[in-house]
Amino acid sequence: MTTENGLPGNDVKAILEARDGSLWFGTYDGLAVLSPDFSRLSEQSRLKAESKTFTENEGLAGNHIRTIHEDASGTLWIGTYDGGLSCFAGGKFTNYTTENGLFSNGVFQILEDAAGNFWMSSNQGIYRVSRQQLNDFADGKRQTITSTVFGKSDGMLSTEANGGRQPAGIKAHDGRLWFPTQDGAAIIDPEAVGFNLQPPPVVIESVKIDNIEQSATRNPQSAIEIQPNQNNLEIHYTGLSFIKPEQMRFRYRLEGLDKDWTNAGGRREVYYPYLPPGKYTFRVIAANSDNVWNEEGAAIEIVVLPPFYRTFWFIGLTITGLALIGFVLYKRRVSELKRKQTAQEEFSRRLINAQETERRRIAAELHDSLGQSLAMIKNSAVFGAQTADDLPAAKKQLEQITTQSAHAIGEVREIAYNLRPYLLDRLGLTKAIRSMLNKVADSSAFNLVSEIDDVDEFFPNESEISIYRVIQESLNNIIKHAEATEARVSIEKTERFVIIKIEDDGKGFEVQDTDGNGFGLIGMTERVRMLGGTLSIESASLKGTKIIIKLELK
């Protein structure tokens, strides 16, 4: 049989005839099996017999096979040169390596004793593994396996066993196991070796913080305290066993941080560069070379003190302070909302009163001024009708009717102008403002200077009337209250803004004293706010007044 007949490689290291009659070949390129009917085939047919091969691609631990063993249940165990151990059962492989607890990844020979333990040879020595542990690992009942190692301390002249040639070890009729090594044959009596059933005592030797040993280690009842400015916790532990102490294994867990045990192997120290504040218990357990564990082990309490800003009292004070700040901000916000609501209500009340006042003013003007003029026109017309024969008298009455009619027309125009300046609709915002300034200049005692840029078509109609009224209200305040000798009005247009300045050299006023008073100022402020602009007032007693309005161009 060669690779031409189905073998994965021509370098055959092991051959096994299984109980079902199949033939298994271990090569340095994988594993091959021939059917049970192979022995009954003719010589010509054997050369054409089909074989099945297994390599690492099919799940084999390694392609360099050294030995094949079949146990009583018909399970095959395949040892490799450096890939570990493979179990073939139910058509699938389960692999074991040093990561799972196998002593060595070299398996040169597999011999089974009467107690169901596998004895396997390697370049590092001979080691024993319980077949039950291997099966439990395959079934998922355990995560690791335990290997018991035998070397020079047990009487071997050399730990390097020979493999690659068959047999690489035999089991004699008396139950003793023979393994070839570099310095002779190693003979093992499994029954005489026995098991060490004594669990090893475990102690914590030292605890260091920032490389300074802690005296509390000598008193297990005392806890190790780590200050907020300290780190780098280092714990040294050990176990006592007079039988193969080098094969002791340890597990540790920091309760309060670790959920599972950490397998430390033979390592006897552990490092924690940083631990969050809290209380912990470090616990370590150990097992001897025969996997007998001291489940109680050794433990020590560790307390990591938090920095002041993570203490309960500081957190409590912080929460209380934040709550007070939040409460103050809440009350301030509520007060501000109430103040705004009150101001809004006051503005609405003043607006309603202003509307009523304006209606009364218009009604009074219509009754007292326009009504009287129309009444006089009516009376003159009646009298003219009664004196129609007297031409000079009739002519005089017609002249009075003409005069009264012209006066009535002027009053109607004045009333309409106060309601809505007709120049604003006919000539635009700029000319309407200039006309208003001219009328103020002609009818006022103070000198009025103006510099007006063209601001037509930059604002919608409803905004133009608000701008006009703000300027009108400012001039009315100067006329009524300022007692000024000079006033100045400027409207400047920039790329982004229209800036309106209205100032006088009058007696001025204290701005803070007018907060909430004077519907004129409130109306001006509200109009500018609705325009999306800002209004600022600079004034002081006997120092005049300056109003600056800044409107953004849309």
CATH number for the domain harbouring residue 208: 2.60.40.10
Strands across the sheet with 65-70, in order?
Answer: 65-70, 76-80, 85-89, 92-96
For residues 131 and 37, membership in a common domain is answered with yes
User: pLDDT tens digit string along 20-51?
Assistant: 888 999 999 999 998 765 544 444 444 445 67
Per-residue pLDDT band for 219 (boundaries 50, 70, 90) equals low
Q: What value does the mean pLDDT of the chain take?
A: 85
Considering just the CA atoms, what is the radius of gyration of the chain in Å?
55
pLDDT at residue 113, as a whole number? 93
How far CA 186 is from CA of 113, 154, 170, in Å, comes to 16, 10, 11
For residues 394 and 441, membership in a common domain is answered with no
User: Using CA atoms in the order 169, 171, 175, 181, what is the torsion angle rounded to 10 degrees?
Assistant: -10
3-state secondary structure of 82: coil
For residues 209 and 295, membership in a common domain is answered with yes
For residues 40 and 173, membership in a common domain is answered with yes
User: pLDDT tens digit string along 278-310?
Assistant: 999 999 999 988 878 899 999 999 999 988 887
Q: List beta partners, residue 184.
A: 181
Query: Is residue 121 predicted with pLDDT exceeding 50?
Result: yes
Last residue of a domain, one of 287, 309, 331: 309
pLDDT at residue 275, as a whole number? 92
For residues 96 and 128, membership in a common domain is answered with yes
For residues 31 and 178, membership in a common domain is answered with yes
Higher pLDDT, 510 or 409: 510
Query: Is residue 364 predicted with pLDDT exceeding 90?
Result: no
Q: What domain range is 532 assigned to?
A: 421-552
For residues 305 and 318, membership in a common domain is answered with no
Per-residue pLDDT band for 513 (boundaries 50, 70, 90) equals low
Last residue of a domain, one of 250, 274, 309: 309
Last residue of a domain, one of 419, 434, 453: 419
CATH number for the domain harbouring residue 495: 3.30.565.10
For residues 40 and 160, membership in a common domain is answered with yes
For residues 177 and 210, membership in a common domain is answered with no
Taking the CB of residue 422, how many other CB atoms lie within 10 A of it? 12
pLDDT at residue 105, as a whole number? 95
For residues 155 and 266, membership in a common domain is answered with no
For residues 17 and 150, membership in a common domain is answered with yes
DSSP string, 193-261: H-----PPPEEEEEEEETTEE-GGGG-TTSPEEE-TT---EEEEEEE--SS-GGG-EEEEEEETT-SS-
Q: Is the dihedral of CA 33, 39, 41, 47 positive or negative?
A: positive
Looking at the structure of the chain, the number of domains it has is 4
For residues 367 and 244, membership in a common domain is answered with no
pLDDT at residue 409, as a whole number? 72
Number of separate helices (H) and strands (E) present in the chain: 10, 29
pLDDT at residue 45, as a whole number? 46
